[in-house]
Chain A
């Protein structure tokens, strides 16, 4: 029972480099999310996808792009990494969406990204 799987778990980038964080869930969930966690800031929503083919901005979308490749996969791309994007990134999924969404999310283990 894998749940939500994120890759890579650790990554070091130089300023200006690009990279994609991959996320896959095997629970047939409709909604998927990307959060970042920073000290003293809690978890902040970057982007989310209520269903395959749809994506929407969260609280801190600048500098990121996302792709909902299919129902299972939701990737987060940094086109030109900046030191301010050093963070721990969490992917999450939810079995419900829209008016049925209860906010009960299932999280991956996180991806720690350092931008030098």
Chain B
């Protein structure tokens, strides 16, 4: 039972355009959401997070949107750069719970 789903295994975007990565969750108890970025042969690195009391969080080129009623979150990257090519994992937890549930990942390729 996949509680966090990333339905697009891959996404290709032109450099300079907006990249939108999507994530859906089924567990209504989740109240904290995170995005991680992973390059080949490296561990994932934390990118941005959002708590359920907000519907938007921005950090430079990265913005995460949360739609609690739809149990959906998205990561927007604008403008997209070649260095953004990586696998992006969505993750969710109950705040204060040690267990983080990850999605299956979306491979983003930025085309120069």
A, B in one complex: yes
Q: Considering only CB atoms, which chain A residue lies closest to B96 in the complex?
A: A99
User: Provided the pairs A102-B32, A103-B32, A104-B34 are in contact, do residues A50 and B104 lie with their beta carbons within 8 angstroms?
Assistant: no
How many A-B residue pairs lie within 8 Å, measured between CB atoms? Answer: 69
B38-75 residues at the A interface, CB under 8 angstroms:
41-46, 49
Contact A107 B43 (CB under 8 A): yes
User: Provided the pairs A90-B44, A92-B43 are in contact, do residues A105 and B102 lie with their beta carbons within 8 angstroms?
Assistant: no
Q: How far is the CB of A17 from chain B (nearest CB, A)?
A: 25
Most chain A C-beta atoms within 10 Å of own C-beta, residue among B6, B96, B103: B96
Inside 8 A of A48's CB, which chain B residues have their CB?
98-99
Q: Considering only CB atoms, which chain B residue lies closest to A35 in the complex?
A: B102
Q: Please tell me if B77 contacts chain A, counting CB pairs below 8 Å.
A: no
Interface footprint category on B = 20 to 34
Contact B96 A98 (CB under 8 A): yes
A63-116 residues at the B interface, CB under 8 angstroms:
90, 92, 97-110
Contact among B32, B43, B46, B96 for A110, CB-based, below 8 A? B43
Contact among A4, A44, A59 for B43, CB-based, below 8 A? A4
- 19 pairs, A vs B, C-beta closer than 8 Å: A4-B43, A31-B98, A33-B98, A35-B102, A42-B4, A43-B44, A45-B99, A59-B99, A101-B95, A101-B96, A101-B98, A103-B34, A104-B46, A105-B44, A105-B46, A105-B100, A108-B43, A109-B43, A110-B41
Query: Shortest 3 CB-CB distances between A and B: which pairs?
Result: A107-B43, A99-B96, A43-B102
Q: Given known contacts A99-B95, A110-B42, what 20 new A-B pairs fall within 8 Å (CB)?
A: A42-B102, A42-B103, A42-B104, A48-B98, A48-B99, A59-B101, A98-B98, A100-B96, A101-B95, A101-B96, A101-B97, A102-B49, A102-B95, A103-B32, A103-B49, A104-B34, A104-B46, A104-B49, A105-B44, A109-B41
